[in-house]
Amino acid sequence: MNESLNDPVGGRGSVPEAIAIAFRHPSFLPVMLILAATVVVLVAIRLSAPILNPLFFAVVLTLLIRSISKPYSSVCNSRTSTFAT
C-alpha cells in the first residue's frame, strides 16, 4: 500500500537521517542522566570538602611561597658561588 515517507527503501536509513530524527525528537532520558550526574558530582565535591580544602590550601600556599622565593634563590646561589671560588 502507501509507504511512509520516513521509511526509506528496504527499511534501512542512513546515519545522518537517524541523527536528524534523534535531534528532532529529544528524549527525556539524556537530560535526566546529565542532571543526575551533575547532582552526584556536586554532592561528592560537597562531601569531600573537609579533605580537599586543606589540600588545595597547601597547594596554593606552596605555589605562593615558591613564586616569592624563586627570584631570591638565584641571588643567593650567585653569592654562594662567588664565595666558593
pLDDT of the residue at 18: 72
- For residues 7 and 16, give the distance between their C-alpha atoms in angstroms, rounded to a whole number: 14
Sequence-distant (6+) residues with CB within 8 A of 22 are none
Using CA atoms, how far apart are residues 42 and 49, in angstroms rounded to an integer? 11
Residue ranges per domain, the chain? Answer: 9-84
Average pLDDT (18-26) is 70
pLDDT of residue 40: 97
Neighbours of 68 (CB within 10 A): 9
Report the pLDDT value the prediction gives residue 31, as an integer from 0 to 100. Answer: 86
0.75 exceeded by pTM: no
**Which is higher by pLDDT, 59 or 16?**
59
Per-residue confidence band for 64, with pLDDT thresholds at 50, 70 and 90: very high
Task: Report which of residues 27 and 81 the model is more confident about.
Answer: 27
